[in-house]
Every structure is written in structure tokens, then in C-alpha cells.
Chain A
């Protein structure tokens, strides 16, 4: 591009010939006050703060809307211009509430910084406040016109940057002009895409995100994308959803693979914390992120493998105890970092809870096996049916580091009478036997004690093992149950009976054979501030629920071999520093054994964290980040789509409840390509907002 020479306040600058004077000045670190200018938006010269004088030109110009010309001599800070600026600022403030300290934008406000720079107050002019109530009627956004200075940035962001065009200047009841949603409607009525660009560019507190939509304590890039910040492994959700929308499924799976080596398993069983925080749920329903992940995983052709980087052999050896998602994730990344990895698994099959905990109707074994095969293909050695009872011996057998990732595999029994009868089972043990085809054929009545997801796993497994009548008994009310809504619904469909608000006091038994559960109705049940159970039972409500098999599903904890000399926490977890490190420098932790029962995705995140710490300790750089997808930032254009807000969540086809309890085949199918694409279109693309440039505050300029 051609360059021209200009002089601003005595500084000679060589600038691009197409630049505006303001842009040229700011680029040269020379500050000219401005408010309606935003680096990503077209300039309109409305705030009149960037006024300048040009030698030989009579008129006062605005720097943002005037192009540079060869040999222009410009003055930006004459007394006359400063007076004009102060008046413009006074005029804006006359119509702006005075209570900066109560404003959510306090100290992040561009207007506030300009007040400071120009040194003006509201003292001289008449107040022209418009005193309108704060508008909270829209989903996700709060509009406070008492703080609006009508700079029009939001209007331009919506119209020019996004092509959505929902906002405009409008004539209000008293003929004052203010920025409003077109036709004085709600944003939903005008087809807002809720991208948040308007909030992002607002220099004041006039447009804000509703409380709780984002967490403040994260950096902007991740904090503004709730699905990503809500994911323990911080998978770049919007990026893979966009790829699915564009029909690029291989790109989608590559994005997921960058953060987690079990995409297909996650597609089946992830607890989807991302969906809990999805902004779309404030409009209709959260995006079906887990199903989209499952879809991407089913389309995987393995093209991402070409981009994998394996570091040269380090000569170091690592032992991983436990082949669940935490252990295998760590093993995978440690192997990629150049270390030799051996995984020890006491069960006859690898996979931990993925293969011997979660029933296969929820997570088909082939999906897990294929993902484990990728890890063993990398060179990770897995020794199954190998229990490590002596940790010291393992240390001495040549491993530089040991990772304990044994999970939480021991079910809990209540210490009540009859709890140890022959036909009383523990959740994890029962599921493990079922998974290994060692479970008894069940007959008659099965009662499951507990109200979480594992209770449903047990109940639905019992149903598939032939139980005639399966009942779930729990203390909580229906809404208080910790099981996910899907589980409750699918359980009910399969004929599982749920009895809520019931306490179990003893197991009725004849000799070593249990015959029923002695129950009492719960009057009130809740957890106090210290998470201690507050339970009040209804007097005279004792009754017995007959049972042929009873399964405790009231929680599980890590089972630490007796010979391991490690400090334990009250929950029987191994005591750690920062979740992964222990007092013993060569021993690390990952997964449930470190923090108690949680989710597959957290185990994967924990495995990554352990791999980083261990690689660093082994002399590596601790960099396990990889770029398997193309570098691509979110675009800026959305355009209008009048069907966008009404689009309903796509639900995958489910097996018929009458037939699906006959065996352990998968209940939920995958979305079809077209359905996946429709679902992906529903994404609000929160990451587009991250790409908006953050304006610089005057104090950061060299010449101000």
C-alpha cells in the first residue's frame, strides 16, 4: 500500500494512504480521544470526541471519518478542540447516571476512563436523565438505557459486523432518540442471534450479560465460551460444532481429539457439563453437544493421526496403575512425550469404569475397545489381570515414575442389620459382574437403594438380567434425586419403579438370606451448609418392602490395597498436592482416586494434568497440547435467519423400551448427518465474540 506523510501535533508519521487520521494516529501510539470509534466497526463520527483541525481546512473534522492525505498537518489537542470535546462529553454525561461505583462496568468502562482523561463532570449542564427501568425482559442480556450514551457501536456491530440488524436508533415516547431493538420489540421478536457482539462493543454498562452467564475469574478467550470453560478438559466445543455444521466431520473429530482421547465414549456417557452452561438453554434448550460429539466420533476416518507428534524416546519408564479413562489418557500423552509406558490393570479387560462399570447398553464395548486400541497402537503396553499389591516392589522394578489411577471402585454398604446377607450386592461389584458375564440370573424382586446415576445403572442392568420387578428406593424427593433426568426417564420407561422420600433402616432377613428392606417415610431431607445430612423421619411409617435381591447404590470410594503406605483422606482418596502430585516425588495421581467419584471427562482432564506434571519431572517440556485441526478463527458474519431461535433440539432415535431390556445393546442411537447438521446450526457461536478486538484505553498510549 502507498504511504503518505502526515504531521499530527508536530509528530511526523508515515502512514498507509487509505487510513483514517484516527487509525493512523492510534497505530503510531498517538492518542486522540474517541468513543464511538471501535477498531472492528465502520466509523460514523458521532461522538465528536476525535475532532481535529487540519491546516488549510476551515471546518473542524472528525479524525475517524477523515482520510489521511499527503502532507496533511493536523492538530488534535488545541484549546478549541479540547473545549469542544469537553462539551460533547458533558452533554453525554448529562444524560448518564452518576453512580459509577455500583455499575457492573466499573473500572472496565471506556466512558469512565474518558471522564478521567477529559476531566469533566456533570456539574455545569442541566441533567437530562431519561430514567427508564432497566430492561431484563430479554434472554441473556440486560439493557440499561440510563447508562447508554447512544454511541451506536451496538447498532453497527449488529448490522455491519454480524449482518443481523436488530438494533437501531429509535424515536422514544418523548421524541428523544435512543438505541433500541427495532420496533421497540424484544430481541427474540426481531431475530437476535444472541452472539453478544453488542455487549462486547458497548463502552459503558448499557448492555451487559445477565449475571451468571459467564464466570468472571477466567481469561476472556475461554471465559466467554461457557461450554469450553465448563468442560473439565476444555474441549473447543464451538469449533467442532462449526465444523459439523460445515459438513467437515473429520475436522470436528480432530478438534475433539486435541483434548481427549476418548471422543466416542464421551459421546455416549459424558455428563456434558458444557450443556449445563450452554447459553442456548436461555432461549429454548441447550445444544445437544454430547450427541454431536458422538456423531463426529462415528464419522472418524482417523485423518487426525497424520498430525500427531510423537517425541523421540526419552529412555524413561512410567508405570500406570489402572486402565480407566484417567490412567489411559495419561499413558497416551506420556507415550507421545517419548516415555515408555506400562499400564497395569487388575481386571481381565482394560478400560476401568468404561468397560466394567458403565453398562454396555449405555456405552457399547466396541466403542471403548476401538479407542483403547488406538492407545495401544501408539505403543502403550497394557497388562490386564495384573494387580499391584506392592507399590515399593513396583518402584524398584525400574520405573522412573508411577501414576496411580485406580479410580473409585468399591461400593459402600450401610452398617445396618442384614447388610451383609448373601443376596445383598454392592453397586460397582454388581455392575462389574454383569459386565464380565459373571452376574447371576436374577429372579423376582430387586430393590436398589440409592438415587444417583449408578443406582439406575444397577436397576436397569438388573432388569436386563431378568429381574421381575425392579424398585429404586431413595431418601430424596423426585426432584432432589442426583440421577440425570435422562436416566430417570429411561428407567421409568423400562418399568423401573421409583419410591422417593424413603429411608432404609435395616435389611429383613432369615439367616443369611435377605427378604426385604425395612423402611420409614422421610418427612424432610436436606443437606445443611456443611453438606451434613439433615433427616427427619415420619413417625409410625415403618413398613417392609419385600425383596429377593438388594443392591446398595449409595456411593463408592477408592479401594486402596492394604500394603500401599500412602496418606489417605477421609473419603479414602489418596492425599495429593494440586490433585496430581503426592508427597512421594515419584508417585502421581489421576482420576477418582485423587478427588472422589466424578465423571469420565474429569478423569480425562486429570489424566492430562498428571501427564504434564510427570513429563516435566522426567525432563520433558510438559507440552502435550497439539493442533490436529486447522487454525481457524470464528468469522464475524452471521446474517439473518428467522428460523434460528425456534429451532428445537434434535433427539436421537431410542430403542423401544419394551424391547430394549431384552439384552444389553445400545439404547440411544446416533444422530443422522442431517440431524447433526441441524443441531449444529443451533449453536450461538459464543466464540465469535472472543474475536472482537478489545479497544485500548488512553492510558496505554505513548503520546496522550
Chain B
């Protein structure tokens, strides 16, 4: 019997790795998704390794070398305080990516909880969805500014502000997917097998909402980076002198005709990050939802 079950598990794991390989191959087939993934990975690597590639710190002021154009010494040039722009962009990238990712993760978790529970309990649904409607009615950036104005401008509060702004959309998406799942016969069959509500919601409904959830999470990540940059640009985000892509842009605005590099480099990075994440999101959507798959379209 011992040997028998070992054999069973072996077959199981073999089948699973087979399926994983198949999924991976389908992912490689989608060129744009691969490009998006590569961009995101490179940006992450860049903000991890970058700080070690330069001898300048992001806050080192050098008044003699203000507004220097890009050179072998200062790769991206210097800003109006003579700080090395490469170092600032790299450190700012760390802040932007961490803030963006934390906001996306927090939004995902809270959105998942709200979405699942409101799809399952009708009265809770009415209450939670009206609150979400209220939040959606505000323009994103305005609501985010209001929240950071109350809480104070620092990266942690920016994460909270972005989360509050983005949770309603996430909750709606999870809810609509969960509502479809809830009506399936297997949920009724599970109830008939004596499964508790907790088990039905988390073990059975949650995995069935995972694909729209993951796709939305990548979009929230991208939107968080834009929102964070916007907030920092307006002075409601990461406070000076700490760098973030948004507040470097703000510093560059005053000298845009004398020092184009101060605007160009952070802009390129914001664009790349958002582009990469959106491509990744589109790719994931194609991969996880067979109905819109590019591969299918080509077959037609």
C-alpha cells in the first residue's frame, strides 16, 4: 500500500508539471506579454541594483555642479541642487515601485474580501456596494489628495490613499465574477456536502475569481504608479528631499527649458513601468481567459 500511494503522488506531480509547462508555452506565445514581463523585471532589477552602480547618493548636494547635462560622470545629469539624477531616479524608482506594489497588494486583498462577502451575503452586499458607489463618484486624484491631506504626506499614507481610491473597482470585479460562480451547481453541491460558508467562499469561490482578480491587480499596480507620481508631483505624496519619480518631475518643471533631462528621465521610467505592467496585464488576461485569447483569434 505504501508503494502504491507513492506511485500515485508521483503521477500527480508529473501531471501538474506537464500542465505548468503547457501554460508557460502558451505564455511565451504571447509576444507582448513577454515584452511586458521583461520590462517589469528589468525595472525591478534596475531599482535593486542601480544604487550600487553610482557613487553618488540621492541626497548629496553639490552646488558647484548644478544642472549639468548627462555625462560620463553623471549619467542622467544633475538637478538644480547638483544632485546626481541617475541616483535620484533609481532611488525614486524604489519608492514608486514599492508604493505601487504595496497599494496593489493591499487593494487586492481588501477588494477580494469585500467582493467575495458581498457576493455571498445579500444584505452586506447592499451596504458595501453603496459605499463603493460613493467612493467611485469621486475623481481618483481628488480623493487621494484629500486623504493624504488628512493623513499627512508620506509614502505609507500614499499607499493607504491609493488603496481607498482603488478598492471599489477591485471589489466590483471580484464580486461580479463571484456572483457567476455562486450560481453554479457545484456551490449547491458543496452546501449539500456539508461545507461551511467560510469554506465555500475561500476554498471554492475565491480560486474561481482569480483570473479577473490577477489581471485587475496588474492594472491597479500601473495606476498606482501614476497616482503616486501625480500625488508626489502635487506635493501630496513622497515629501522632498526624498526622491520619487513624481517629485523629480516637479523639480524639473521649473527648469524644463534649461534642463530637459530632469523631465525626460523620470518620465521615461514612469512610462516604461506603466507600459510594462499594462502589457503584462493584457497578457495575463489572454492567458487566463480562453475566450479572448489571441491564440484563439488567430485560429479563427
* A and B held together in a complex: no
